[in-house]
A and B are shown apart, each in its own frame.
Chain A
């Protein structure tokens, strides 16, 4: 996993070219022929599966109507899991759809699954088909070719990562930025839950505000939320990348368990993601009914920052003067920024800036 390049805090809205290969290969007839072949091979396979007959019927409609599109317009091959050959496949590298479906107990989230062995980005699938997919639908991939990080950052997505994106809809703009905290919390709690159920010690996965997951001081995962405000509603696409079995370039959950003396591959992607949705649905309802305050204590127990001392750089009127203040993190403000206090008791609000923080 992890980030490459640039700090601009903008989303790239520049669509990838559909026929990159054509561009790269020049114009000789031989190359052109090759590129045509590559195009036909580059069709993205999407496997649809529903929890119940309702979602199965929806999946069938999506397939029949050819409703799912990719942002670059590249070809898509849609099939139903119930009709595909891979049903019951136990290959370790392949997401076990049945295992996942049997483990979720939600009423809205994660019940329609779009699985792909290999695609550009799960985020693009759910964001680009937001209106077609029922709210809460999830897209899972074994490998991503252009995994999305924040801004133009690339999220390296090799085998062994849990990679998925799902949709949420919210009306109140004031709570939208807090959604990613709820997502982060549901993921750390899901990991705890799976460890507990399997009789393993709880891995100390922590939240690095605002949207990263850390284990033993190293980044193991990240959350990317984007949204589109449309017809008075926020259509949120939440994407999560978590290193379960892939140690590069930092660490992964299973490596930490091995260090504790457990056998390899203890944690499975299907267990973590199903536990995630089971947790997320509960947190989501609490969040909407009671506000984030109801989850705040758990969040503070899970994040890295309570009582943390940070240096805040403030540029003063004169360009030469950069004042540095040491502040102590107290928590979050109601709107979701960091709440900090200076040593003389002044309260201030800290905003994230670019890729770095502190």
Chain B
């Protein structure tokens, strides 16, 4: 009985991934290489009902979208005796290792704040705020953020397949175009408002960014370069 349920969930999860990949073709490769599996049915003490399965799947779906939309390479959640790990291709040392996903129907998952630039998984407790997506802004005063000046779709390169305007580690001069934001077919070349080094790119290519929230932080630049100009 338990196994039967899990099979259903597993299939759903696969569909989910495919669905996401379809919608964001640029994410396809990443997702196709993702490994998500569900193991250890023995951990499940109670047989889940349909509703809780659905709720759980929605939560997992949100988490996967979250991981997909950010520069998060690996997300690991531990709650009570259950654990959920979502790894992107980049996080997998060998293609053979699969990341276990432990299923827990009664558990409410809250995404943890993204840990950036950390290749190895860090175990951390889920954040206290439910539902809300974590703010990607990591308060790092030495890295002033570049905020999106407008809402629209964020593009990293001037044309599909073309090299991106900037990469992490690039030194950017004030006035250099760093991305395109498109809204209602109106293309906006966005120039850097100060010189600096790209520490991290938080927005995902082809995905919407907003002007209102802190989630629009695109770039961190080093102070040391700001004063060079």
A229 and B190 contacting across the interface, CB-CB below 8 Å: yes
Interface of B is mostly: mixed
Q: Is B42 close to A, CB under 8 A?
A: no
Q: Using known A-B contacts A174-B150, A319-B19, determine if residue A230 contacts B184 with beta carbons closer than 8 Å.
A: no
CA of A316 to CA of B23 in the docked complex: distance in angstroms? 9
Q: Is B155 close to A, CB under 8 A?
A: yes
CA of A210 to CA of B15 in the docked complex: distance in angstroms? 34
- Which residue of the partner chain A has the closest CB to B15? A318
Rounded to whole Å, the gap between the CB of B56 and the closest CB of chain A is 14
Q: Using known A-B contacts A315-B19, A317-B19, determine if residue A10 contacts B159 with beta carbons closer than 8 Å.
A: yes
* A-chain residues with CB within 8 Å of residue B183 when the two chains form the complex: 176-177, 335-336
B211 and A319 contacting across the interface, CB-CB below 8 Å: no
Q: Which of B12, B157, B184 contacts A177 (CB 8 A)?
A: B184
* A-chain residues with CB within 8 Å of residue B180 when the two chains form the complex: 10-11
Q: Is A289 close to B, CB under 8 A?
A: no
Residues 45 to 95 of chain A near chain B (Cβ within 8 Å): none
Against A, the Cβ 8 Å flags (1 = close, 0 = not) of B151-190 are: 1110101111010000000000001010011111111111
Rounded to whole Å, the gap between the CB of A14 and the closest CB of chain B is 7
Against B, the Cβ 8 Å flags (1 = close, 0 = not) of A205-233 are: 00000110000000000000111111110
* B-chain residues with CB within 8 Å of residue A8 when the two chains form the complex: 159-160
Q: Which of A12, A178, A228 contacts B188 (CB 8 A)?
A: A228
CA of A10 to CA of B151 in the docked complex: distance in angstroms? 16
Q: Interface size on A (CB < 8 Å)? A: 36
Q: Which of B162, B175, B177, B186 contacts A226 (CB 8 A)?
A: B186
Rounded to whole Å, the gap between the CB of B100 and the closest CB of chain A is 22
Q: Is A13 close to B, CB under 8 A?
A: yes
B159 and A14 contacting across the interface, CB-CB below 8 Å: yes
Q: Which of A10, A13, A173 contacts B211 (CB 8 A)?
A: A173
- Which residue of the partner chain A has the closest CB to B191? A230
B159 and A173 contacting across the interface, CB-CB below 8 Å: no
- Which residue of the partner chain B has the closest CB to A150? B185
* B-chain residues with CB within 8 Å of residue A19 when the two chains form the complex: none
A231 and B193 contacting across the interface, CB-CB below 8 Å: yes
Q: Using known A-B contacts A173-B149, A315-B19, A352-B185, determine if residue A232 contacts B193 with beta carbons closer than 8 Å.
A: yes
- Which residue of the partner chain A has the closest CB to B153? A9
Rounded to whole Å, the gap between the CB of B179 and the closest CB of chain A is 10
B158 and A173 contacting across the interface, CB-CB below 8 Å: no
A210 and B184 contacting across the interface, CB-CB below 8 Å: yes
B189 and A11 contacting across the interface, CB-CB below 8 Å: yes
Rounded to whole Å, the gap between the CB of A184 and the closest CB of chain B is 11
Central interface residue in B61, B187, B189, B190, by most chain A CB within 10 Å = B187
CA of A325 to CA of B152 in the docked complex: distance in angstroms? 24
Q: Is B106 close to A, CB under 8 A?
A: no
Q: Is B78 close to A, CB under 8 A?
A: no
B187 and A173 contacting across the interface, CB-CB below 8 Å: no
A317 and B187 contacting across the interface, CB-CB below 8 Å: no
Q: Is A180 close to B, CB under 8 A?
A: yes
Against B, the Cβ 8 Å flags (1 = close, 0 = not) of A1-25 are: 0000000111111100000000000
22 A-B pairs within 8 Å (CB atoms) are namely A8-B160, A9-B153, A9-B182, A10-B159, A11-B187, A12-B159, A13-B158, A13-B177, A13-B189, A176-B186, A180-B186, A210-B184, A211-B184, A225-B186, A227-B187, A227-B188, A229-B150, A229-B189, A231-B193, A317-B12, A317-B61, A319-B22
Residue positions of A touching B, CB distance < 8 A: 8-14, 150, 152, 173-174, 176-180, 210-211, 225-232, 234, 315-319, 335-337, 352
Q: 3 smallest A-B Cβ distances: which pairs?
A: A173-B150, A317-B19, A13-B158
